[in-house]
Amino acid sequence: LRLWNSILVVWPVQPAHPSQSIFPTNVADMAFLGRFAGLCLVLAAPHKAQALTAWADPPKRTVIHKPNVDTPAQKASKAMNTYMDASKKRDGIWDQAVESKEKAPAMYPSHLGKLVKANDAASEALEKATDLQGKAVDTVQKELKDLKKKYEGKEKDLKGARYGEDFKAEAASLKLKMSGA
């Protein structure tokens, strides 16, 4: 596969005197140098534009990910589910304690100790759920206040406009006026 038609190498020549420069000093030389550089670029580039796209990477696709940050309401909901699970576990331990009192009275004190731990875990989960629920309510109330302020402003703007007027009658009178009647 041949990518380049030709390769052109240009070497600057050292000037004969140090006061001379290898770079162009007048407008005509600079214009010539610009045209020459453009010609070199045209000759060095492949003749088919499709070759340029072949060198490029394929276009990147946009990937949409699920949000990885929970809202306060989602946090409160998860905390409430955690409380419900802890409460179910506590209820199961209570059933075991009641059963052990009848079938194995010697194990009853250890089951009561387990019940106390499960009850403490359920209480902590309930406190956490209550705190997160309060934060979620505060967030929703703040958002509601902001939205009310925003839409009250829009309502004021609509009152200043011609919202709700009878445009059909106005269009009919304009039609008569435009027809010359």
The pLDDT assigned to 13 comes to: 57
Could you tell me if 118 and 90 are in contact, meaning their C-beta atoms sit under 8 angstroms apart?
A: yes
Q: Kindly report the average pLDDT of the chain as a whole number.
A: 80
User: What is the per-residue pLDDT across 93-126, written as a single tens digit (0 to 9) for each?
Assistant: 999 999 999 999 999 999 999 999 999 999 999 9
- pLDDT for 132 beyond 80: yes
The pLDDT assigned to 1 comes to: 43
Q: Which residue has the higher pLDDT, 170 or 54?
A: 170
User: What is the per-residue pLDDT across 47-102, written as a single tens digit (0 to 9) for each?
Assistant: 555 555 556 677 788 888 887 888 999 999 999 999 999 999 999 999 999 999 99
The pLDDT assigned to 3 comes to: 47
* Average pLDDT over every residue of 22-33: 64
Question: Which of 124-128, 155-159, 173-177 is predicted most confidently?
Answer: 124-128
Point out the least confidently predicted range of 18-22, 80-84, 159-163.
18-22
The pLDDT assigned to 62 comes to: 85
* Average pLDDT over every residue of 5-26: 57
* pTM for this entry: 0.50
CB atoms within 10 A of CB 97: 19
Point out the least confidently predicted range of 14-23, 109-118, 167-176.
14-23
2 pLDDT tier (thresholds 50, 70, 90):
very low
